Amino acid sequence: MLLLADKVVFLTGGTEGIGFECAKVYQRAGANLCIISNDPRSISHAKLQLSEGITEFVLADVSSSREVRYAIMHCLEIFGKIDVIHNNAGISNPSKALHETSDEEWHKLFEVNVGGIYHTTFHGIDALKKSGGNILNTGSLVGEIGQEIHAAYTATKGAVNALTKSMALDYAPFGIRVNAVAPAGVITPLLRAWSQQQPDPDSAEAYLNNIHALGYCPEGDVIADACLFLISDMARFVTGCILPVSGGAELGYKKLSSKQNHFHDL
């Protein structure tokens, strides 16, 4: 039996990285997808690989309430309902200490990483109340343990953790579950390219492997499998959970040497 048969998933940031892996897994599990992205090129690429399923793409920026409202309305017009909102879209730049972070950089991170959740919930909660659906947020392990030279980014992910728990309490009376996944390092095309640009790519790869107790940095599919569990009825009594999908990295995040740069999940 397909875990998401006849379900409609509203997925932000679903055309690349972890979000794209989620889109593929959700589609194989029987879901109809409404994928939101602000990148026309990545939408075109994703269309080619997700052509077999029932998938709708919407060009929209999650930091814009107006654009998210349009995306939610479009999804409802096409599919008639929304069963899951997966807030995956996010940004990570800049890699700076707090005093080096500009006002513009600070606000942009919060507008996307936290504001996106606000916008999809504000405009989509009525649909979830009707369907008895659930919400999944893509967080990060660094929202719990912190990370050097990523103050603003980790602040947004810490906010996602707290927001997830508060939302779980607020929407439990409606039968709506709210959870989050918290990856550590995740190999995506963007992170591969970034690593190859470093002075010592071999050391970069070793670092990414070594921060995980299981000894390797995973592909995005391992995160997608955990996400599938959380949005499916298999997790029907799970809410307010911040699920580490981190290979044990939270048991002791190793520090980089001063000659290396700093990594985050991408």
CA–CA separation, 107 vs 206, rounded Å?
33
**Catalytic position from the list 26, 70, 118, 153:** 153
Is 153 catalytic? The answer is yes
CA–CA separation, 96 vs 262, rounded Å?
10
CA dist list (Å): 63 to 91, 110, 215, 226: 11, 9, 36, 26
Nearest to 86 by CA among 23, 2, 165, 132: 23
Residues near 9 by Cβ (< 8 Å), separated by ≥ 6? 26, 31, 32, 33, 34, 82, 83, 84, 85, 86, 231
Q: Which two structure tokens, joined as six digits, stand for 149?
A: 């030279």
Q: Are 18 and 188 in contact (CB under 8 A)?
A: yes
CA 204 to chain centre: 23
Residue 233: CB atoms within 10 A of its CB come to 11
**Residue 254 burial (CB < 10 Å; 0-12/13-18/19+)?**
exposed
Nearest to 108 by CA among 91, 124, 88, 96: 91
Q: Which two structure tokens, joined as six digits, stand for 258?
A: 């001063």
CA–CA separation, 61 vs 66, rounded Å?
9
Active site residues: 153
